[in-house]
Chain A
Amino acid sequence: MLNCSETEKLLDLYLDQELDPQTKEKCEQHLGHCSRCSELLELRKQERETIINGFPVPELAAGFSKQIMEKIANPTLNRTPSKNPWLKKWMLPLTAACLVALVLYGAFSQGIFSSPQDAMLTDQKLEQSREIANVTEGNSSASPQKDVQEGTITPEPALPPDAIAPDERTVNNGSDLDTGVSSGQITPISPTNAVLTPQYLPAGFVRSSASSSGYVGKGGSPAISILSFENPQTGGRLCLEIITVNTGAEMNAQDTPVTTDQAQDIALHQMATRYVEKSGQGYWVRIYGDVPQTELNKVLDSLK
């Protein structure tokens, strides 16, 4: 004897007449005395009726069979154009060509491959930087002691972007990311172009490079100029960052984007900061490097 749960599971098979005779008999026995399952059976019949009557199909036109027979008799009529565009012979090669073009464009635009023109430009820049390096070396070797003693900076020509120290690149790239600076270009500057130049440098230090980051920031974000100095004998380094700010503005993290490498540099070395005004324009200056704090302060004091 079947219970209600078992019968319920068999109702669809019962209506489909797919039950074996024995199970069918058991099912009917249960339905004979169980009003709940009988009601459920009626509901299933009703559902079935709704589904069957709920989806009418239009009648085919009278001449439909003739169309089929014509196509069978005349196989050339049978060739109906494919509705699947992928099956068209030219679609696949065209798609493949578009994909290849897209990939190549992406690769070139990302600099994975360089065009011949780019290669030529790079060679030129390298050559330029070599020449500049030679000039700088010549100057410094000619009278290094004099420069150090007088505490003046050896003038140097503008450096091409490729000649900028790697850590400065990082600083500028970091500023792009953190402050929303529109241009990621590092513009080399000469001492004459620098807004502030130190008149004093610790003994043995000469300028190694100078750069500024051109930009348009939100609400007048500061321009950053970075001057780097090094002591060729000891390998010591000094980094001077000049950030243009509104007069009286406080220096905060947003004004001074710091990369991970730079933060490590600051943590490992001495650092000094100062607010300086020149021609009514305010600047926050930060200096850090391998020299005592007093030397850093002297450099800041000498800024003009």
Chain B
Amino acid sequence: MEKKLTDQDLVQRTLSGELSAFEKLVLRYQQAVFNIVFRILRNKEEAEDIVQESFIKCYQSLNKYDQRRPFTPWLYRIASNLALTRVRQIKRQRLIPWDTASSQLPDQNTVNPAASLEAVEIKQEVSSYLAKLKPLDQLVIILRYYQDLNYDEIAYILDTTRNNVEVRLCRARQRLRQILKNQGVTKCSTAVKQKNSLISI
């Protein structure tokens, strides 16, 4: 059985001219990168463009990557910077083509249509409430909650200190918590949960 190659192995092979090694890295992390970028941009086409651009930039500057460090934070850093730049461009152009349809994906775990609809509404709301935060605060929340990265990794991606991440995360949480509380989303979520449990019974 072939031993699974580490990220560093694949980087080494890519640097030695093996393009298929980089393709493995792309396959390994494309969805993770897309998860971050999509949650920042909330538009599928825009997010796909940024993911492609991220991997191309990653490939072009692979010789600058410090192989003693983990690969993913470095990749996320590139993607996050490109996504934030794109957000600023969109804001400047006032286009903001947020793809609300893409956030209306049905929850496959729910069976009851009414409960599913309610869950979809919550998903829409969470997405829109997250959008009310500053782009950098959104990114901190995304990296912590959705990518499950620790404070040090987030600090590296944002090119800042751990303390700064802690403060920014605390502020973003307070703001988000206030929004959720005002909209009663937490209660709504509980209601959906209860409905789902009743259905399963």
Q: Which residues of A contact B (CB under 8 A)?
A: 12-13, 16-18, 43, 46-60, 64-65, 67-69, 71-73, 78, 80, 83-86
Which of A51, A57, A84 lies in contact with B89, CB distance below 8 A? Answer: A84
Give the residues in chain B near A65, CB-CB below 8 Å.
23, 26-27, 30
Interface of A is mostly: helix
- A55 near B130: Cβ-Cβ < 8 Å: yes
Residues of B within 8 A of A47 (CB): 177, 180, 186
User: CB within 8 A of A72: which of B44, B56, B166?
Assistant: B56
* Neighbouring A residues of B102 by C-beta, 8 Å: 58
CA–CA, A98 to B123, complex, Å? 45
CB pair A68–B19 under 8 Å, yes or no, is no
A58 to B105, CA, bound (A): 8
Interface bracket on B = 35 or more
Q: Which residue of A lies closest to B105 (CB)?
A: A56
State whether the Cβ of B74 lies closer than 8 Å to any Cβ in chain A.
no
A17 CA / B27 CA spacing, docked (Å): 30
Closest to B108 in A: A56
Identify A64's interface contact among B19, B48, B127, B144, CB under 8 A.
Answer: B48
Enumerate B29-70 residues with CB–CB distance to A below 8 Å: 30-31, 34-35, 38-39, 44, 48-49, 51-53, 55-56, 59
Cβ of A84: which chain B residues have Cβ within 8 Å of it?
89, 92-93
Interface of B is mostly: helix
Q: Which of B129-165 contact A (CB under 8 A)?
A: 130, 141, 144-146, 150-151
Assembled-state Cα–Cα distance A86/B90 (Å) = 12
CB pair A46–B105 under 8 Å, yes or no, is: no
Asked if A72 meets B27 with Cβ closer than 8 Å, knowing A50-B189, A55-B39, A55-B127, the reply is no
Task: Take A67-B52, A71-B56 as given contacts and tell me if A57 and B185 are in contact as well, using a CB distance cutoff of 8 Å.
Answer: no
> Contacts of A58 on B, CB cut-off 8 Å?
38, 44, 102, 105
Residue of B nearest to A16 (CB): B144
A52 cross-chain contacts in B, Cβ below 8 A:
145-146
Q: Determine which of A12, A60, A68 lies in contact with B56 in the assembled complex, contact meaning CB atoms within 8 Å.
A: A68
Of A12, A78, A85, most buried by chain B (CB within 10 Å of CB) is: A12
Residue of A nearest to B36 (CB): A57
| In the bound complex, CA of A12 to CA of B170 (Å) | 8
Closest residue to A47 on the B side, CB-wise?
A: B186
The distance from the CB of B66 to the nearest CB of chain A, in whole angstroms, is 21
Residue of A nearest to B22 (CB): A72
In the complex, residue of chain B having the shortest beta-carbon distance to the beta carbon of A80: B49
